[in-house]
Structure 1
Amino acid sequence: MSESVYRKTPLPVRLDLNKRNTREQLSQGTDDQRGVLQGAGVACPTTESQKDCNEVMRKDLEQWLVDHGISGPPPSPEVEQRAMWQWIRDFHKEYSDDWYTRNMPRLRDQFRPIFVQQMKRMREQEAKAHPVEPAAGDLLDLGPYTPQQAPPAPAPGGSVDLLDM
């Protein structure tokens, strides 16, 4: 005999439609494993989709940086912002300027974290490749600590001048 045509669903078997509160019926007696294939893991489709989208954006950003000859982090935050918006616009080149302008807040929320991660990675790589030495005459650089000798003791019985200390 062949398998049953019936497929389990996440809904309970029966709902009493005479009762107005179906939420209560749904919360009671539902089996969490209904509708799940045996041996298959449960994955949230939106999480998987978001991971895939992030990967597409990351790969496109890497290719965009190569195409535009950008091998290091931008020299200033303004240049970095311009580069980010140019990349986002190039990514959505099939849409009109009107669509792009209307969707800028949403696009910024989605694309900015990917761009910031890449810039952070590029800064770390540059810092490893070119460690920054403190500049000569840097007022904040106190140099290595070397204990100094104590000032000479004043002559006994003589007057103490504060400038001699």
Structure 2
Amino acid sequence: MNKYPALMPSNESDDVKPNILLPPPSRPFHVVHAPGREVPHTPREVPPALEIQFPLAPYRQTPGPIKTSQTYLRTLVLERWDAEIRLCKETCKAQLSEHMKGPVAHQNLVREMITVRWNAEKKWCEESRKVQLLELLLAAHGITTLA
């Protein structure tokens, strides 16, 4: 009796084996041993390939894209980068209040170093926000890669 009618032509006899889809055989992992450690030289057994009898339909294997509005995505991007910029400002203030000890000349130098560092971080966040918003706008118009 033909166990796999969809995989065999109907005019062939039942003693012919059906065409079963098999995954490629798996290869063993490459193991790196630490220097000075003894390397065992035992051959590894390759496990037998699994037999897939009922492969899933393509639409059940990979979820489809999630549709969201551009305004919602834009709001998420803006909120994320605004939070990063606020964090930079708060961290700058906290470091300034924490490190303002010692002579006045030393305080000015420390204040300048802390301020320059966090202003650069804020500028990077603002530029990243602009880039992400531009990517979002381009993706909305179907442009996913730039040549």
TM-score w.r.t. length of structure 1: 0.24
Normalised by the size of structure 2, how large is the TM-score? 0.26
User: Does 1 or 2 have the higher relative contact order (CA < 8 Å, sep 6+)?
Assistant: 2
